[in-house]
Amino acid sequence: MAKNNDARRMRGGMRPVASGESRGESAPHAGSSASRPGGGVHRRSASRPRGGRVLTAALIAALLILAGLFALRYAPSALTQGRKVAQVVAFMPWLTIPAVALLALCAATKRRVLAVLFVLCVAAEVVWHAGYFLPATNLSAASQRSAVAERTASDDTLRVMTLNCMNGEADAASIVRAVQSERVEVLALQEVSNGLLDRLNQAGIADLLPHRLVGKAGWRDNGGVNCLFSLAPLEDVSTSSLPDEAGASATPAATVELGSGIKVRFLSVHPSSPKTGTRGLWNTSLSSLGQSLRADVDYVLMGDFNATWDHLRFRRLLQNGGLVDASEQAGEGFHMTYPSSPELSLRYSPVPVPFPLMEIDHILYAREGSVAVASLKTLQVAGTDHMALLGTLAAR
């Protein structure tokens, strides 16, 4: 009887229930992962899925690229004879952004080893640029108030300003307004043309800064001559403090005496830019500038150095010349000066640059000197692709 019932169930599509098997469970499929020849049980692979492996490879590639870019910060002079490397290094502070983003991605996806390596990248950026946020030089509140309150040659504070005038195209009236509103007492200009000098005279620069020194014109003028303007008399003047073989436009130099008798020697500086047409002159001009300085003089160098804190040649200039960069010492953040506007950036960029990305204009002063410069700010001046850089100089 039982055999007949089993036979009917088989014909009706039902199978006999094996001993020890509940009716609610189905037998394993012959091709399922639960059963394999030899009685083994298949286990899912512990390796990352294909998408995860692709992401890991991409992160490793990004890490290698970032490390290579960081290495350019120490590139020797032989590798910086042109525009490309120098321009990449000029953007070094901005590499903090992708480094932090990639670190966050590694942390979110639990890639611990890569996360540690990106932490080192971020740490390198912090160490290199800590001076921009941790002040090493402080001016007293009284000195800052004194410099801005009035323009006078009888105290120990000076308001100073530097500006690249873009082939003499800067608006003279804007320059004079900046000098007046910011109480500027020493002004350094670069890329000045005869036409701009005439327009400055017409705008009344002599009423504010009656003493001037114009650099010697030459074939290496790099867009125009360099100039110094001062409220106080200029002493021991030189229209070119660098030798002709230095590879830079003539660097005018003059001494200004503060109220207490401290004498400060100002230079308006514009080394060659690292472009193809001036191969080698960029390194040469920066090197010559550092070697020309004397250890017993209180120097203040202002101008367009065509270099940033991250360029090795610029750091060697500081070291060899016994100088410090006011922006890197003041702890007031970066003071990006180039390019100054989206419209003017189209001269060199295929797309408009919305804000300044490079800090190539600087105010340098003697590391062991009697004066320091802080309270920096940038200012837009019409007609030029550089921001003006202003600072307060005070005895210390």
**Residue 202 near residue 228 (C-beta atoms within 8 A):** no
Q: How confident is the model at residue 18 (pLDDT cuts 50, 70, 90)?
A: very low
Q: What is the largest CA-CA distance in the chain?
A: 129
Query: What's residue 240's pLDDT?
Result: 87
**Residue 189 pLDDT greater than 90, yes or no:** yes
Query: What's residue 69's pLDDT?
Result: 96
What is the Cα–Cα distance from 51 to 224, expressed in whole angstroms?
A: 57
Smallest CA-to-CA distance from 232 within 184, 293, 163, 300 is with 184
- The alpha carbon of residue 284 and the mean position of all alpha carbons in its chain are separated, in whole angstroms, by 22
Smallest CA-to-CA distance from 341 within 183, 132, 171, 110 is with 171
Query: Which secondary-structure segment (H or E) carries 6?
Result: helix 2-11
Q: How confident is the model at residue 283 (pLDDT cuts 50, 70, 90)?
A: confident
Read off the pLDDT of each residue in 243-247 and give the average, rounded to a whole number: 65
The identity of residue 44, as a single letter, is R
Q: How confident is the model at residue 162 (pLDDT cuts 50, 70, 90)?
A: very high
Provide the 10 A C-beta neighbour count for residue 204. Answer: 15
**Residue 245 near residue 254 (C-beta atoms within 8 A):** no
Q: Tell me the C-alpha to C-alpha distance, in Å, between residue 26 and each of 13, 14, 22, 61.
A: 14, 12, 9, 49
Q: How confident is the model at residue 148 (pLDDT cuts 50, 70, 90)?
A: low
* Terminal alpha carbon distance of the chain: 115
**Residue 34 pLDDT greater than 60, yes or no:** no
Query: What's residue 30's pLDDT?
Result: 44
What is the Cα–Cα distance from 80 to 88, expressed in whole angstroms?
A: 11
pLDDT digits (tens, 9 = 90+) for 295-342: 899 999 999 999 999 999 999 999 999 999 999 999 999 999 999 999
Query: What's residue 145's pLDDT?
Result: 59
**Residue 338 near residue 308 (C-beta atoms within 8 A):** no
What is the Cα–Cα distance from 338 to 345, expressed in whole angstroms?
A: 9
Query: What's residue 215's pLDDT?
Result: 95
**Residue 77 pLDDT greater than 90, yes or no:** no
pLDDT digits (tens, 9 = 90+) for 104-117: 999 999 999 999 99
**Residue 221 pLDDT greater than 90, yes or no:** no
Pairing mode, if any, of strands 361-366 and 371-379?
unpaired
Read off the pLDDT of each residue in 164-186 and give the average, rounded to a whole number: 97
**Residue 230 pLDDT greater than 80, yes or no:** yes
Q: Is 183 helix (H, G, I), strand (E, B) or coil?
A: coil
**Residue 251 near residue 300 (C-beta atoms within 8 A):** no
Choose the most confident range, by mean pLDDT, from 229-233, 259-263, 367-371.
229-233
Q: For domain 138-395, which architecture applies?
A: 4-Layer Sandwich (3.60)
Cβ-proximal residues to 7 (8 Å cutoff; 6+ apart), any chain: none
Angle between helix axes 281-291 and 312-321 (nearest 10 degrees) is 20
Q: Which residues of 86-111 are buried (b: 16+ CB within 10 A; e: fewer)?
A: bebbbebbebbeebeebbebbeeeeb
Query: What's residue 272's pLDDT?
Result: 87
- The DSSP symbol for 358 reads B
**Residue 33 pLDDT greater than 50, yes or no:** no
**Residue 131 pLDDT greater than 90, yes or no:** yes
**Domain ranges across the chain:** 50-131, 138-395
Read off the pLDDT of each residue in 238-267 and give the average, rounded to a whole number: 87
Query: What's residue 39's pLDDT?
Result: 47
Q: What is the mean pLDDT of the chain?
A: 86
**Residue 252 pLDDT greater than 50, yes or no:** yes
Q: How confident is the model at residue 249 (pLDDT cuts 50, 70, 90)?
A: confident
Query: Rounded to two decimals, what is the model's pTM?
Result: 0.84
Query: What's residue 245's pLDDT?
Result: 60
Query: What's residue 78's pLDDT?
Result: 67
Q: How confident is the model at residue 222 (pLDDT cuts 50, 70, 90)?
A: confident
Q: The tokens of 317 are what?
A: 């200039």
**Residue 324 near residue 364 (C-beta atoms within 8 A):** yes
pLDDT digits (tens, 9 = 90+) for 368-389: 999 999 899 999 999 999 999 9
Q: How confident is the model at residue 268 (pLDDT cuts 50, 70, 90)?
A: very high
pLDDT digits (tens, 9 = 90+) for 333-348: 999 999 999 999 988 8
